[in-house]
Amino acid sequence: MTAYFITGTDTGVGKTRTSCALIHALRQVGHARVVGMKPVAAGCDWVLDDDGAGGQWLNEDVVALRAASSLKVPSRFDNPYALPEPASPHIAAKLADEVIDLAHIEASFHALRQHADAVVVEGAGGFIVPLHEPASGAEGAHFGHADVGEWATSADLASRLRLPVILVVGLRLGCLNHALLTQEAVLSRGLKLAGWVANVIDPEMPHQAANLATLQARLQAPMLAHWAWDRQAEPADLARSLRLP
């Protein structure tokens, strides 16, 4: 079973674009059952069921991943936490009176593994975005008091899943620092950086070629794709220019 963890240098840098393209690329090379997973989605709209009797919180990234996937699964597996507020997951969870449990996410991932040939897991925000804060005594948590619980981040989730990581670098001013810091965070946890994608999000970025050359020299993994600014690009088309790790 093939699986990857997709992270980014920040929020809004193209993780979903990359995840959907990767799903299509895996399908194009012969994986029949490929599914995308968004463990935590913050920023959801309430969508009624077809019969109007019920509904669910739904995030646009989750919709895109499901459209790209060839395997349809219950929402509790591919999106265990759907949170209404468009905020950092730990804040959105607190506002929704939810507790993001990494063990529950891990169990959902392993349930997907039983049925899929490949799973693409898209993280939330940047690599170390908080997912969970201590339930009480938060002031003490800042000083390492063990009795108030532990902080949990997207990096902790990646460490639990032990998947190779693909880093999406949003090409804009500041991306070098963000990319290199993320690489350090990934490698320091003993995870494999399987590759990275250069995704242009600022078409007016100065010295773009020089920045790209620096990334190629400093990131310790192959560049899997370099995508220009194009809001209309379809994931299946992007997949054809995506090099699989």
Catalytically active residues, by annotation: 38
CA-closest candidate to residue 130, choices 164, 96, 155, 94: 155
How far is Cα 3 from Cα 119, in angstroms, rounded to an integer?
Answer: 5
How many helices and strands (H and E) does the chain possess? 10, 12
Does residue 186 contact residue 165 with C-beta atoms inside 8 Å? Answer: yes
Retrieve residue 161's tokens.
């899943």
How far is Cα 11 from Cα 79, in angstroms, rounded to an integer?
Answer: 18
DSSP letters, 196-223, are EEEEES-TT-TTHHHHHHHHHHHSSS-E
Residues near 177 by beta carbon (within 8 Å), at least 6 away in sequence? none
